[in-house]
Structure 1
């Protein structure tokens, strides 16, 4: 449908032509050299130019790229909950947001390995301004979230995106990934923005709102990294906000954050997919007849699912104890793990800047604080 042309990924019929255009791009060579270090250039070029679908590109190329990232920048990627999902079934994955590229790439690796439908995934158009990155995102089944629009255009863009998401889920049987909020979490507090749910609600059309949210099969996703590779990069924004200043991004900041997120050290990574929100949505429908109240309640249900299944690491407990000057969680980490974290803090943060120092610790400690709200969750 032409109405979605401004935001949609490539159709399979467009994939080969797109690959022919980028096969000789220096960034494609860098990506392939990273993914297949022992393969001669001509071999991967020949394979690329014989590729005619997004699935083939993802499975034969990007899957290996993500495996190399896991191998090079982490101590392993574990998952839980995927066995509850059905094959040949589309889901709306609503996830906490740690990394621009990897959150959705890791989800697709897990879905692929479990024989499940992979996702079309939302990505901000500010992140793919370079033509190669735009082509790569469309080859990876990303659809564009249009940023920085005037209010009227933003409303129209939200409506278009909600219709496209509904089309993917209900007509094309394609799963969708979307972050619970705009932009990555800067302070470790994972909270669903009601605006995201209101955008999704626009796709309901004539359906009852809660019936629609049941129909699209919402699955909350919790992703956690032992180390956040972009932790120090988040501090300038936190400092500006603490000083009531407007934060202005550096030129190419988004791109540099993207690279740091992919290649920076994460240690262990865990992803949990929760249960489909079904009885919870029925409960909301019974309790509230006002759509705003329903969306507010749904945001809380998603938060509860994400936070209660969030995997806490030694770094989270160390940061909590340092922040609160306590040994409450000393049994959750070793002295060596504590020394490594303190060294990271010392290298990355100026201890004479209390906002940055406290902000860095809080980013790691807040998941512990949030999870303590749930009985027996910590």
Structure 2
């Protein structure tokens, strides 16, 4: 396929490029050290040969990531389930737009779930702030990721957004790929998942026709991701206190690495992914309302939020957290005393992991409870509409 050169810096590698990139990774001592720690007991040379046999990105994903991720589910979770019954045509190419809980696993789990559905995996939007080592950047581009450029000036950001939008439309219409993008930049630290209009505006920069027509070309599908436990909840709470205490606080690349490692290997309990139907019909209905351009994006953001919130899979901890946060027993029928004790013990354990010199335990407790209560609060609100 003839891919325009303008996408070369952000797109996934093509199959033709893979042999050269494999050799660069195989020769990288940092990559080798990580692989040997993740796959102990397997000779690196055997893994290198296995890489060389993968002729496409999808073959690489199936050969390496598929098995690794299902093993991770066995070790760090109590099951991973997927409901995509709302997708009536699984041969179409979709842009999955989801809430964002885990830096790596949200899109990675979606890929293995799609493989089990005999569907194509997704090309993944990933921020370049996470690509802190050369081998990571190469590996994610083998793994069908396209790069979201961060830390740019306003003019550069506009140019980068337009380029990314053109690439997403090209990937859907010419490459016939599925895509995944988070509904907002970064994870919602309080799990109050809201779609940023700016994400939709970026996606509507390319394509033909008005904003609705451009977004319809991408076949948007809201995706709800529900983890029973978020291994990074204590790190998110810690960051919230750090930002409260220091207005200039910024996470370091090392902090991002710690979040990635904790998210990967921490206990997640049960995990559920659920899609809504493709939004194209509902986008037509929004068009009929003759809204202003600004109102159109707000209406679409609210529509995506409604679908994501309605499709949350709620766990006992969500109900317990809401009661503890509100100081009442409104949802007592939704959990047992044993489940309440278990969640309170979990909460204490997560707070104990937070290492801060001026540790504000009531603040941190409130923030973690809020993370688990917000999905329930949003679910109930969406159920009314």
Separation in 2, partners of 1:242, 1:343:
26
Aligned partner (choices 145, 149, 161) of residue 146 of structure 1: 149
d(CA) in 1 for partners of 2:276, 2:38:
31
- Point out the more displaced range, 49-58 or 268-277: 49-58
Cα deviation for residue 69 of structure 1 reads 1.4
Please identify, of 148-157 and 20-29, the stretch whose mean Cα deviation from structure 2 is larger. 20-29
Distance 1:199 1:251 in 2: 26
Unpaired runs of 5+ in structure 1? none
TM-aligned CA distance change 1:145 to 1:352, over 3 Å = closer
The 2-side partners of 1:35 and 1:161 are apart by 32
Distance in 2 between residues matched to 1:184 and 1:233, nearest whole Å: 12
- Of 361, 366, 372, the residue aligned with 1:364 is 372
Is residue 191–residue 372 contact of structure 2 (8 Å, CA) maintained in 1?
Answer: yes
What corresponds to 2:125 in structure 1?
A: 122
| Structure 2 counterparts to residues 199-348 of structure 1, below 5 A | 199-204=202-207, 206-243=208-245, 245-348=247-350
Query: What per-residue deviation string (whole Å, max 9, x for no partner) do you get for residues 153-178 of structure 1?
Result: 00000000000001001111111100
For residues 363 and 220 of structure 1, the distance between their equivalents in structure 2, rounded to whole angstroms, comes to 20
Matched residue, 2:355: none
* Cross-structure match for 2:356: none
Aligned length: 376
1:54 counterpart residue number: 57
Alpha-carbon displacement from aligned partner over 1:150-209 (angstroms, at most 9, x marks no partner): 1000000000000000100111111110000000110010000000001001012x3222
1:373 has 2:381 as partner: yes
Q: CA-atom RMSD, angstroms?
A: 2.0
* Aligned residues of 1:220 and 1:302 also touching (Cα < 8 A): yes
1:36 to partner: Cα distance = 5.6
Distance 1:38 1:67, change over 3 A: farther
Counterparts of residues 5-84 of structure 1 (less than 5 Å): 5-25=8-28, 28-29=31-32, 32=35, 39-82=42-85, 84=87
Which consecutive unaligned segments of at least 5 residues does structure 2 have? 353-358
TM-score under structure 2 length normalisation:
0.92
Q: What is the 5 A alignment of 1:83-162?
A: 84-162=87-165
Contact 1:120–1:142 (CA under 8 A) maintained in structure 2: yes
Is 1:241–1:247's contact at 8 Å kept on the other side of the alignment?
A: yes
Distance 2:280 2:204 in 1: 16
Q: Given that residues 16 and 53 in structure 1 are in contact (C-alpha distance below 8 angstroms), is that contact kept between their aligned partners in structure 2?
A: no
